[in-house]
Structure 1
Amino acid sequence: MTAEDTTGVAAAPLMPELACYGLAGHSAAPADLLTEAARAEELGLGSILLSERFALKDAGVMAGAAVAASSRIGIGTAATNHNTRHPLVAATMATTLHRMSGGRYAFGLGRGIPLLFDIMGLPHVTSAQLADAIGIYRTLWRGGAVAGHNGPAGTYPYLVQDASFDEDIPILLMAMGDNSLRLAGRLADGVVMHTFMSDAAVERSARLVRESAEKAGRDPASVRIWSVMATIEDSLDEAARLRKLAGRLATYLTGYGDVLVRVNGWDPAGLESFRSDERLAAHGGALDATDDLDILRHARDVLPDEWLDCAAVGSPSHCADRIEAQLALGADSVVLHGATPDELAPVLDAWRPRRDPTRFAQLDPNPGRFLSRKDTPS
């Protein structure tokens, strides 16, 4: 698969086993996504994922921009939440992006952060709600109507899009806990794990997804599994490296540290030390958005080395080694998280000559799909 970029230079063949995030972390300049999506495609990344934040990162707007700035790369919402949009609005967003992209789009859902939902006045997301919402979306995408619905996702007298629809839109689930992983195995086309998961957690998570799929009567290999690995190549300056490593992990621990510690089997004492640290507690704002070297260095010293070692940090060759290791743990594909396409370029250069294209021939650029889709849930 070859193409030319906007300059007329031959773009690299896509590597569908790899993805990046667009506008990774915080961004005050959403227009940067136009450049990032085009550059990701030019460099050969298979897909670009887009996480929603309630400031300048609306899922539908970002996905539309990524579609417009690209022609080959897959695009996935990873993730939005079903409880922030009416199901007909969410289904319409997905069908619009699906048609606009020529089938390159995957619709991703996650549980979100309970504390944020409390502040917003929204109910916490449950597995039952997700399953119910997914059923509604798929009914609408197949051209069906939802009449007199009263279920976990809400009460809806009548929902319909277009009776002629027969849209094959993959659904991604963002999963970290066991319930989410098992739900993904039962219902989803693809699952995206969380950043800073240990090797043991990645391997166990992949196994839970496959086992759940098999129990649901699906081919265990029909669910596309993405690991998510913070990737920090050593040519970045110290502030950027620390922000993407210690700063990013600290931000996650602030939002849902108990879950991340439990999933990884980490010692809870490390989380207690982090939470009780006076300097970190006094810092205003997210640590993954600061350039304060002193506080970032302090966060690195407070966080256990074992936790930070979940990231790929170092030379391009070492980062490529870590990609191979993630695949060996049971993932089909790897999201290189927290870096722009240009920051990932040296890693992609190191990975490309060692990959066997036939090994990934079954992967579609669409991040929620294999080239031969099997056992799509109804």
Structure 2
Amino acid sequence: MTALTPPQTQEFPELACYGLAGHSSSPADLIPEVRLAERLGLGSVFLSERFNLKDAAVLAGAAAAASTTIGIATAATNHNTRHPLVTATMATTLHRMTGGRYALGLGRGFNLLFDVMGLPRITGAQMEDAVGIYRRLWHGEAFGHDGPAGTYPYLSQDSSFDEDIPVLMMAIGDRSLELAGRVADGVVLHTFLGDETLARSVARIRDAASAAGRDPSDVRVWAVLAVVEESIPEELALRKLVGRLATYLQGYGEVLVRANGWDLADLQRFRDDPLVQGYAGAFDAVGTTEQLSYLRDEVLPAEWLAASATGSAAACAQRVLDQLAAGADSVVLHGATPTELAPVLEAYRSLRPDLPTLPANPGWMR
């Protein structure tokens, strides 16, 4: 492997935030966010991708330039939106640029979006095949390929490469959890999973890793916890909590509801509501305070919204501990900026248990 100097570990290597949480019209805001997240001691910054102002490669490069010790992960991009050589090159560039702090995160994405883009829908076989391509390229191989991820007459980066770059996979349903356990170095679970669902998900990942002949403890599992601390203004809090959950239910509600064992009749009631039917846009982007309050009070079950961290900073910090107690190795504090997370981190510092030392890279366990 290319010799890289291991970066200093952050105070809270088990915690991460998302850069540009939610929607943003100013991607340059990521730079001060990453700097503050690093100063606050967060272990990693995760970067989601949207096809407007959130290109994964650009954001990861900016995060790399703005930081020296914090881990950086794309969580997630899709393998089918770039040629495999382009994605592999993005990862090796960021790997070298960050001194080994970067992890490539891949997800299944949305079938409807790929349909309108004219791209093939993503399957588990394609994801597994794509990861195999990347790893061969990162270790200096030159080869032709014909498999689920596509047909490529010749692929090569550099014969001198021997790069160990971790791959994260996003997972919700049982099959995606099992795939991630077999193939990925780290797994990023979904927001709004109940504690019991989280524990079951972790167990399924580790069982799949063991069945594949891997050491289950080598797979780093990230819980994703929506954090809305009480000092956040109500309008913004509604958008971050109610709006975010409603948006997930708009896009792939059945997957999330089934994963939690929630009642599908409640999902159908949500879908049949006059406000939801034909709603123009995502609730977390364009929902009004009145609309989101209505969804909270009249439509969404309180149990669904409770799969989050709300209330005082101390209460939010305790919910982080609940995620670790359920079996997660690490927790992404989702939907909140570093500024909004500062009081939660202060409270967490006094509650933090004795934890195993984790590396700076969010994709590795050791």
Name the TM-score, length of structure 2 as normaliser: 0.96
**What is the aligned counterpart of 2:118 among 118, 121, 131?**
121
- 1:208 equivalenced with 2:204 (yes/no): yes
Unaligned runs of 5+ in 2: 1-7
Match of 1:376 in 2: none
- Structure 1 residue 291, shift from structure 2 partner: 6.1
Give the match for residue 265 of structure 2: 269
* Corresponding residue to 1:142 among 124, 129, 139: 139
What does 1:154-193 align with in structure 2 at a 5 Å threshold? 154-193=150-189
Residue 97 of structure 2: which of 100, 110, 122 is its match? 100
Alignment of 1:241 onto 2:237 = yes
| TM-aligned CA distance change 1:55 to 1:342, over 3 Å | same
Maintained 8 Å contact 2:10/2:69: no
SS of alignment partner, residue 155 of structure 1: strand
Corresponding position: 1:366 with 2:361: yes
| AA partner of residue 136 (structure 1) | I
The one-letter amino acid of 1:173's match is M
Q: In the alignment, what sits opposite 1:284?
A: 280
8 Å CA contact retained: 2:9, 2:69: no
Q: CA deviation at 1:12?
A: 11
Shift of 1:282: 5.2
CA displacement at 1:292 relative to structure 2? 1.8
Residue by residue over 1:182-214, the C-alpha shift from the partner in whole angstroms, topping out at 9 and shown as x without a partner, is: 111111100000101111211111000000000
Look up the match of 1:222.
Answer: 218
1:297 maps to 2:310 = no
Contact 1:206 1:331 in 2 (8 A): yes
Q: Say if 1:108 and 1:13 are closer, same or farther in 2 by CA, change over 3 A.
A: closer
Q: Aligned to 1:152, which of 148, 152, 161?
A: 148
SS in 2 for 1:281: coil
Q: In 2, Cα distance between the equivalents of 1:14 and 1:291?
A: 36
* 1:250 aligns with one of 243, 246, 252: 246
After superposition, give the CA deviation of every residue in 1:323-371 in whole Å (9 maximum; x if it has no partner).
1110011100000000000001110000012214x5131x112110123
Secondary structure at the counterpart of residue 24 of structure 2 = coil
Q: Is the 8 A contact 2:78 2:107 kept in 1?
A: yes
CA change 1:212–1:316 in 2 (3 A) is same
User: Displacement, 1:39?
Assistant: 0.8
2:350 is the alignment partner of 1:353: yes
- Contact 2:80–2:119 under 8 Å retained in 1: yes
Among 81, 86, 99, the residue aligned to 1:84: 81
Aligned residues: 358
Aligned residue for 2:4? none
Q: Partner residue of 1:64?
A: 61
Provide the C-alpha distance between the structure 2 equivalents of 1:129 and 1:61, rounded to a whole number of angstroms.
25
- One-letter amino acid of the structure 2 residue matched with residue 317 of structure 1: A
Q: Distance in 2 between matches of 1:346 and 1:75?
A: 23
1:232 aligns with 2:228: yes
AA aligned to 2:74 is T
Contact 2:48/2:76 (<8 A) preserved: yes
CA 1:12 to 1:171, structure 2 compared with 1: closer, same or farther past 3 Å?
closer
**Residues 67-91 of structure 1, C-alpha deviation per residue, up to 9 Å, x if partnerless?**
0011000000000000000000000
CA distance in 1, matches of 2:167, 2:274: 42
Q: 1: CA distance between counterparts of 2:141 and 2:43?
A: 32
Look up the match of 1:4. none
In structure 2, do the counterparts of structure 1 residues 57 and 17 end up closer, same or farther at CA, with 3 Å as the change threshold?
same
Conserved? CA contact 2:191–2:224, under 8 Å = yes
Which letter does structure 2 place at the counterpart of 1:179? R
Residues 257-289 of structure 1 show CA distances to partners (whole Å, capped at 9, x for unaligned) of 111111111101111111111123354321112
Name the aligned partner's letter for residue 14 of structure 1: E
CA contact (8 A) 2:9 2:360 kept: no
* Aligned equivalent of 1:55, options 36, 52, 57: 52
- TM-score, scaled relative to structure 1: 0.93
Quote the RMSD (CA, aligned, Å). Answer: 1.3
CA shift for structure 1 position 14: 2.4
CA–CA separation in structure 2 for the residues paired with 1:95 and 1:80:
15
Show the counterpart of 2:40: 43
